[in-house]
Amino acid sequence: MTAAATNTAGTYEAQSLECIRDDRVLFEDLSFGINPGQALVLEGRNGSGKTSLLRILCGIRLPESGKLLWEGEDIFRLGPEFHEHIAYLGHKDGSKLDLTPLENLRIAQGLGKASDGIDLEEALDQVGLYGFEDVPTRNLSAGQQRRLAIARLLVTDAKLWILDEPFTSLDRKGIEHMERLFEGHLNRGGMAAMTTHHRIGFRDEVQLVRINLSER
């Protein structure tokens, strides 16, 4: 068991996943693994099950069959112990419009595994929201609200970032900026699973695992 434990340290593995939605088999017998420093990139047509797969990877949605193993252990058995390792950015930002960006980040940090070394204002600065700490989130533009949602990823120790169209409503400069952020995370030994309509402009040294759900 110890040998297996060292091999699986910090890895995420999916074994023969099957997903059915509205009587349609979106994918079946889908297996892959994500290792530290790697990013899983999901491709495929609209409705091919990219979002469903990401939600399954989070543990929000149950796969019809198959297994998900974090460091060799079933994620549904781990429960909250698994959740402390992941951060999810969905279609919806998950921010409260009546709260300020700083208040939103404080909650995100409290919900995750509390991380001492991370300064909330610095996280806002990293996504380009310096100076907007105390503006109600409602008054931010759509792009700025998306930046705030990305800042949420930075305030916990989560190793695996699960990103569903993270670049929605960002301008080209914003996208490049966020790509550098994601690269930084991967270079520090982090992992990512993401979908995007944009061509990803990661630098060459980043290891990408591409899966095309329409061509299976």
Partner 1 sequence: MSTLSLTSAFSLLLKRDLVLAYRRRAELVNPMLFFVLVTAMFPLGIGNDAKLIEAVGPGVIWVAALLAALLSLDSMFRSDYDDGSLEQFMLSAHPVSILVLAKILAHWLVTGLPLFIVAPLLAVLLNIPASAIPTLMLTLILGTPVLSLIGSVGVALTVGLRRGGVILSILVLPLYVPVLIFATDAVKTAIVGIPTTAQLSILSAMLVGSLVLAPMATAASLRISLS
Partner 2 sequence: MIIRFFHQMGSPRYFYSVAGKMIPWFMTSFLITLLVGLYYGLFVAPADYQQGESYRIMYIHVPAAWMSMFIYVVMAVSGLISLVWRIKMTEVVVISSATVGASFTFLALATGSLWGKPMWGAWWVWDARLTAELLLLFLYLGIIALHSAIEDKRVAARAVSILALVGVVNIPIIHYSVEWWNTLHQPASITKFDKPSMDMSMLMPLLIMAISFKLYYGAVVLMRARAEIVERERNTRWVQEMVEQEVK
Q: Which residues bind partner 2 (CB under 8 A)?
A: 21-25, 62
Which C-beta is closer to partner 2: that of 56 or that of 170? Answer: 56
Residue 171 partner contact from partner 2, partner 1, none using kind-dependent CB cut-offs of 5 to 8 Å: none
Residue 71-110 contact track with partner 1, rule CB under 8 A, x = bound: --------xxx-xx-xxx-xxxxxxxxxx---x--xxx-x
Beta carbon of residue 23, minimum distance to partner 2 (angstroms, whole number)? 6
Residue 114 partner contact from partner 2, partner 1, none using kind-dependent CB cut-offs of 5 to 8 Å: partner 1
Beta carbon of residue 55, minimum distance to partner 2 (angstroms, whole number)? 13
Q: CA of 22: how far to CAs of 19, 26, 63, 164, in Å? A: 10, 10, 14, 21
Exposed/middle/buried for residue 200 (C-beta within 10 Å: 0-12, 13-18, 19+): middle
Which C-beta is closer to partner 2: that of 18 or that of 43? Answer: 18
- Cα-Cα-Cα-Cα torsion 58, 156, 197, 15, nearest 10 degrees, comes to -30
* Residues near partner 1 (CB under 8 A): 55, 58-62, 79-81, 83-84, 86-88, 90-99, 103, 106-108, 110-114, 156
